[in-house]
Amino acid sequence: MEETLMKVVKFGGSSLANAAQVSKVVNIIKADDQRRFVVVSAPGKRFSGDIKVTDLLIQYANAVINKQDATPITDQIIARYQEIAEAFAIPAGDFEEIRSTILGLPQHDYQDNDYLMATFKAHGERLNAVLFAKVLTAQGLKAKYLDPREAGLIVTDSPNDAEVIPESYDRISEWSASSLIRVIPGFFGYNLQGQICTFSRGGSDITGAIIARGVHADRYENFTDVNAIYAANPAVVHNPIAIHHMTFREMRELSYAGFSVFHDEALIPAIQGDVEVVVKNTNHPSERGTSITSTKRVNPAYPVSGIASSPNFCGIYIRKYMLDKKGYSQKILNILAEHGLSYEHMPSGIDDLTVIMRQDQLTDDLEDTLIRELVIALRPDEIHITHDYSLLMVVGEGMVNRTGLMSKATDALARQNVKLVMVNQGASEISMMFGIQEDHANIAVQALYDAFFPDL
């Protein structure tokens, strides 16, 4: 007999996109009474080309801000919830609460449009949680909506990019003995003034992790639409192997480089609370999924867990004889800071260095300004910006012999004539990072996959 565990489960937007999906979720919750806390996203896309409820709410907010007629939008939003409510025979009187909340959103007092936007967006999750609690009750389960305010989820005063305040965890822990299933909306909390502030987009994963840490859950199940996390992007590599266990650090590095299965900010509460995260598929709940813990795999078949690439980086190359690195770096960082720019890496040679940044931060004008200011401040012998890098990552806790793996990786890349724009590798023994041209990225991922995941 399995021991009793406390589980927090989170369902993504595609898992709750329509009544058919919601009934799968109901079955998942019914199947395991250890699933005590249910965190829900807003209804997502039902089909390719569909609009997510969150995006409809953003349209709604903009219409209100611009004093336009929002009726066509609110009709769509209401219809999304109504379809689910009707399928589960939620009484019309109960549904009226959802309809009137949607229509009433413009009537609240908002400090400014940022707060208005945050509140509108948050209602995708909020109303889905209200509705889903009713659905579970209608299905005979003892379930109740729990608002983040009541739960004690307090966040920083940043309306659309908030972070949890650590005091929240003690408050949330008081709910751990709850005998009911608690349905909690993802994506938002309240600041100390009681205003709604959302996390960054996709932040329902974060709410789930915060609740899991707060109630001291044994496991945080994150239900989405993939059977597992794969060793490479299935859109690039044909039929990549599933990784059934990885460490938090591996997940974090892969998230950075484009593995978007699990929001990387959501890892932090899980790490802090040492809560096992399991990624599972709502559509195939019996699949094993991917377990993410602090424990390394023992004798893994492959030393590497995943190969990822992330596009849209650029590099500012600066060369000057007798470069004084410290003085140089400080001047560069100051100039970047003045423009609110952040950088990712700064590999350096003897008389040169390259500042690797996300290029979506830059416009043509800003690039010109930046180059001009750097020339004035540094008087370099050479300076230029190269666009369209991808960062290519090879991640794995099993990299005890990194020299051999580096050799294997560079050999595989050389065979495919992938040009290395940069290699940047500190003392971390968990990953290798290469800068390559973006149009080489898919070839490179395939080459590394073939090298590190040979048929056994």
Q: Of 175 and 313, which CB lies nearer to its own copies in the complex structure?
A: 313
Would the annotation count 11 as a binding residue?
yes
Q: How far is the CB of 26 from its own copies (least distance, A)?
A: 35
* Tokens 């200011």 found at: 373
| Residue 322 sits in the site that holds its own copies (CB under 8 A) | yes
DSSP, residue by residue, 99-166: HHHHHHGGGS--SSHHHHHHHHHHHHHHHHHHHHHHHHHHTT--EEE--HHHHT-BB-S-TTS--B-T
| Residue 353 sits in the site that holds its own copies (CB under 8 A) | yes
| Residue 303 sits in the site that holds its own copies (CB under 8 A) | no
Q: Write out the two tokens for 332.
A: 């560069």
Q: How far is the CB of 371 from its own copies (least distance, A)?
A: 15
Q: Identify which of 392, 405, 449 has the alpha carbon closest to the alpha carbon of residue 258.
A: 392
| Residue 294 sits in the site that holds its own copies (CB under 8 A) | no
| Residue 345 sits in the site that holds its own copies (CB under 8 A) | yes
Burial 137-171 (b: 16+ CB within 10 A, else e): bbeebebebbebeebbbbbeeebbebebbeebbee
Q: Of 53 and 267, which CB lies nearer to its own copies in the complex structure?
A: 267
| Residue 439 sits in the site that holds its own copies (CB under 8 A) | no
| Residue 347 sits in the site that holds its own copies (CB under 8 A) | yes
| Residue 68 sits in the site that holds its own copies (CB under 8 A) | no
Q: Identify which of 30, 86, 79, 85 has the alpha carbon closest to the alpha carbon of residue 51.
A: 79
| Residue 404 sits in the site that holds its own copies (CB under 8 A) | yes
Q: How far is the CB of 446 from its own copies (least distance, A)?
A: 15
Contact 48, 262 (CB under 8 A): no
Q: Of 264 and 388, which CB lies nearer to its own copies in the complex structure?
A: 264
Alpha-carbon distance 181 to 174, whole Å? 14
What Cα–Cα distance (Å) separates residue 16 from each residue in 267, 282, 423? Answer: 23, 9, 42
The amino acid sitting at 4 is: T
Alpha-carbon distance 346 to 334, whole Å? 14
Q: How far is the CB of 287 from its own copies (least distance, A)?
A: 28
| Residue 293 sits in the site that holds its own copies (CB under 8 A) | no
Q: How far is the CB of 165 from its own copies (least distance, A)?
A: 16
| Window contacting its own copies (CB under 8 A); options: 76-84, 85-93, 146-154, 412-420 | 412-420
| Residue 443 sits in the site that holds its own copies (CB under 8 A) | no
Q: Write out the two tokens for 118.
A: 């945050």
Q: How far is the CB of 427 from its own copies (least distance, A)?
A: 4
Q: Identify which of 149, 314, 128, 310 has the alpha carbon closest to the alpha carbon of residue 232.
A: 310
Bind-site residues for ATP: 10-13, 224-225, 230
Bind-site residues: 10-13, 54, 125, 224-225, 230
Bind-site residues for substrate: 54, 125
